[in-house]
Chains A and B, each alone.
Chain A
Amino acid sequence: MTALPTIATMVGANRVIRGIAITNPFGDPERSPTGELALRRAIVERALTMLETEVEPGTVWDGAE
């Protein structure tokens, strides 16, 4: 889970979720607290789905639709 997925896949990570930003992969200080919690929840749910999904090596998904 990183805002720099190219580096992750380059070193061999196989299931990668693109984070929001380097300084806050699982958050967004621009949003309201409830908005940010909803965003974080969406990203984590994507991560859990990815863990339950068959993937090709070096697969990158966006954090939220």
Chain B
Amino acid sequence: MKVVHYLNQFFAGLGGEEAAGTPPQRIEGAVGPGRGLGIDVGATLACGDDYFGEHEDRALTELGRFLDEERPDVLVCGPSFGSGRYGYACGMLAREAARRGIPSVCGMDPESPGVAAAEGAAYIVPTSSNVAGMREALPKLAGLAARLAVGEELGPPEAEGYLPRGLRRNEHAAASGAGRAIDLLLAKLAGDSNTEVAASFDRVPPPPPVADLRDAKLALVTEAGCVPQGNPDGLPTIRARSWLRYSLADEATLAQGRYESVHGGFDVAAANADPNRLVPLDVVRLLQEEGRIGALHDWFYTTTGNGTPVATSVKFGQEIADELKEAGVEAVVLSGT
């Protein structure tokens, strides 16, 4: 049984955020968490989270080449826990492996973008959002991987402990659809809500374009965790439960030392040297002076988009949008990291 393990730069021991630009590489045997899997790892593939995110095609080609050389029976990715970039890379790599007929097992927080990215190509074990879940996750990943490696077919998600992959298998049900629907409704009325088909991301059609921004009010919103220096309202670095609003009325620029980023999901050094790199106020003011936009809303909205559950993000979006609408804002520049 040949197992290949994918890790990001941090878990592969190559460094922290400063090594996030590391291109794909192969390391003999097991590394870091791979040693805790309890199964024989033939080779470990590592790649920096930023390299993958910014050079996806190249990363997948290089990693794909390693997979072709190694020819594993199964690919294990992570666990990546709540990490957005790492989880996404794991999901996309699982798809790449699937194209080669290689099954994959991943471990991540169910809210990770890696789940959607995998598009059902991987068996994903749900984990905690942080590394504290490592001891619990590793044996689960190893268990599924060992069975997949010998060609065993796994049972349904609830039975085997992986996330639903969005695949449907046809089988005969004992009762008719009408009967089953009534049963679900009666159960819901009794307080037990279940669904056989889960909801996906909400799709909103693109709003019509602004006729002419020279007459319109623009607003700046960010999830880059940009706040006044010292973070006076204590915006969390991760798992923010709220958004904040700060006045731009007297500001022509987001000056170094007056603003900073408290986002815990990326290296904020460049952003802190010049916060306009996250929220481009200096340029927006220039364009405003030149009349390219009618007005800039006096408030900018900020939160930390790091490990934020989808439901919370949806709520933030609705609340901020309500305020913007109330203020007559017609267009928003939203910066994400």
B interface secondary structure, majority: mixed
- Contact of A22 with B268 in the complex, beta carbons under 8 Å: no
Q: Which of A23, A41, A44 has the most CB of B within 10 A?
A: A23
Contact mask for chain A residues 35-54; partner B; CB cutoff 8 A; 1 contact, 0 none: 01100110111011001111
Does chain B have a CB within 8 A of A60?
no
| B side interface size, CB within 8 A | 53
B295 to A: closest C-beta gap in Å: 13
Docked pose: A10 CA to B260 CA in angstroms:
29
- Knowing A3-B54, A4-B88, the reply to whether A40 touches B276 (Cβ < 8 A) is yes
B209: chain A residues within 8 A (beta carbon): 51-55
- Contact of A27 with B113 in the complex, beta carbons under 8 Å: no
- Contact of B335 with A2 in the complex, beta carbons under 8 Å: yes
Does chain A have a CB within 8 A of B212?
yes
- Which residues between 162 and 198 of chain B lie within 8 Å of chain A, taking CB atoms? none
- Contact of B283 with A25 in the complex, beta carbons under 8 Å: no
- Contact of A27 with B270 in the complex, beta carbons under 8 Å: yes
B50: chain A residues within 8 A (beta carbon): 21-23
Docked pose: A62 CA to B266 CA in angstroms:
22
- Which residues between 264 and 282 of chain B lie within 8 Å of chain A, taking CB atoms? 266-271, 273-274, 276-280, 282
Partner of B274, one of A27, A45, A56, A57: A27
Does chain A have a CB within 8 A of B321?
no
Docked pose: A10 CA to B209 CA in angstroms:
21
Docked pose: A54 CA to B209 CA in angstroms:
5
Docked pose: A7 CA to B113 CA in angstroms:
7
Contact mask for chain B residues 23-62; partner A; CB cutoff 8 A; 1 contact, 0 none: 0000000000000000000000000001001101000000
A54: chain B residues within 8 A (beta carbon): 206, 208-209
Docked pose: A26 CA to B212 CA in angstroms:
23
Does chain A have a CB within 8 A of B210?
yes
- Knowing A51-B209, A57-B203, the reply to whether A40 touches B283 (Cβ < 8 A) is yes
Docked pose: A52 CA to B331 CA in angstroms:
9
Contact mask for chain B residues 98-132; partner A; CB cutoff 8 A; 1 contact, 0 none: 00000000000000010011000000000000000
Docked pose: A6 CA to B293 CA in angstroms:
28
- Contact of B270 with A24 in the complex, beta carbons under 8 Å: yes
Partner of A10, one of B53, B113, B277, B292: B113
A1: chain B residues within 8 A (beta carbon): 333-336
- Contact of A26 with B278 in the complex, beta carbons under 8 Å: yes
- Which residues between 1 and 33 of chain A lie within 8 Å of chain B, taking CB atoms? 1-4, 6-8, 10-12, 14-15, 19, 21-27, 29
A29 to B: closest C-beta gap in Å: 5
- Contact of A14 with B204 in the complex, beta carbons under 8 Å: yes
- Knowing A23-B271, A25-B336, A40-B283, the reply to whether A12 touches B213 (Cβ < 8 A) is no
11 cross-chain CB contacts under 8 A: A1-B336, A10-B113, A23-B50, A23-B267, A23-B269, A23-B270, A25-B224, A26-B277, A29-B270, A47-B333, A52-B211
Nearest 6 A-B pairs (CB), nearest first?
Answer: A27-B277, A2-B336, A14-B206, A24-B277, A26-B280, A24-B270
Question: Which residues of chain B have a CB within 8 Å of any CB of chain A?
Answer: 20, 50, 53-54, 56, 84-85, 88, 113, 116-117, 201-213, 218, 224, 266-271, 273-274, 276-280, 282-284, 286-287, 292-293, 310, 331, 333-337
- Given contacts A12-B204, A23-B267, A24-B278, could you give 17 more A-B pairs where the C-beta distance is less than 8 Å? A1-B336, A4-B84, A10-B113, A10-B201, A14-B205, A22-B266, A25-B336, A26-B278, A26-B283, A27-B270, A27-B276, A29-B270, A29-B277, A37-B282, A40-B283, A44-B283, A53-B209
